[in-house]
Amino acid sequence: MLTSLYVEGRSWFHRLPVRAKLVALLLLSLSLFATQSLYLLAPAFLLSGWLYFSLGLTLRQALARVGFVFFTILVLAAVNLFLLPLPEVAALVLRLMALVFFAAAVTATTTISAFMDEITILLKPLERIGLLNAADVSLAIGLVLRFVPDIFARYEAIREAHRARGLPIRPLTIIGPLIILTLKDADTIAAAIDARGFRRQ
């Protein structure tokens, strides 16, 4: 149900370590926001677009992933045309689209487990000062992935129950029971986790 946005591939960008990609994304966004020059922004847009489309996604998949964000950017650009001079609007659109392409490229070439390793390292300082437990974060992510299909099945069951009784299907009448039924499981799951000693508390 929740298939990652990672795309299998062997490109040089796939082989780059996650940290390098994330630092590159950060540096790129800082430098693109520092410039107004179309001579810098247009090549940045073309390069990151080329990078993104060279990762092995089909054109349709590639566009589907960034389409919604681009739609928002273009709508805002259309508004900006009435308020700002044209070169400025062009700079804004190119900058944002370049960033979105690059960010989408990072997402498409990094596996969830690679991200998780990096997050665990980033959380180390917080763990040292006793603010949180890095292992808890991976446990929580695992719990979400494990329970989404179950909760969705429960949603379907509630919907079927509505249908069987001829009730209209409204979010209001579904969300309440869905949340209560789901959160009632919390105690059982927490007891199971503690019984297995996963958190060593």
* Binding to other proteins, residues 27-86 (CB under 8 A): 29, 65-66, 68-69, 72-73, 76-77, 79-80, 83-84
Amino acid at 98: A
Closest by CA position to 43, among listed 83, 107, 100, 91: 91
CA–CA separation, 192 and 201 (whole Å): 14
**Least distance (Å) between residue 37 CB and other proteins:** 15
Nearest by Cα to 77 from 60, 90, 68, 67: 90
What Rg do the C-alpha atoms of the chain give, in angstroms? Answer: 23
Task: Decide if 54 contacts 11 (C-beta within 8 A).
Answer: yes
CB of 56 to other proteins, least distance (A): 15
- DSSP letters of 53-85? HTSS--HHHHHHHHHHHHHHHHHHHHHHHHHS-
Member of 25, 38, 42, 134 binding other proteins (CB under 8 A): 25
Q: Does 19 bind other proteins (CB under 8 A)?
A: no
Distance CA 147, CA 113 (A): 19
Residues in region 86-125 near other proteins by CB under 8 A: 88-89, 92, 96, 99-104, 106-108, 110, 112, 115-116, 119
21 in Cβ contact with 111 (< 8 Å): no
> Could you tell me which stretch among 39-47, 53-61, 130-138, 160-168 binds other proteins (CB under 8 A)?
130-138
Shortest reach from residue 98's CB to other proteins, in Å = 10
The residue (of 83 and 164) whose beta carbon lies closer to other proteins is: 83
Considering the complex, what minimum distance in angstroms separates the CB of residue 43 from other proteins?
18
Residue 125 CB, nearest distance to other proteins (Å)?
17
Question: Smallest distance, Å, CB 196 to other proteins?
Answer: 11
Handedness of CA 27, 28, 33, 38 (dihedral sign): positive
Which is nearer to other proteins, 46 or 156 (by Cβ)? 156
Residues 142-201 that bind other proteins (CB under 8 A): 143-145, 147-148, 151-152, 155, 171-172, 174-176, 178-180, 182-187, 189-190, 193-194, 199, 201
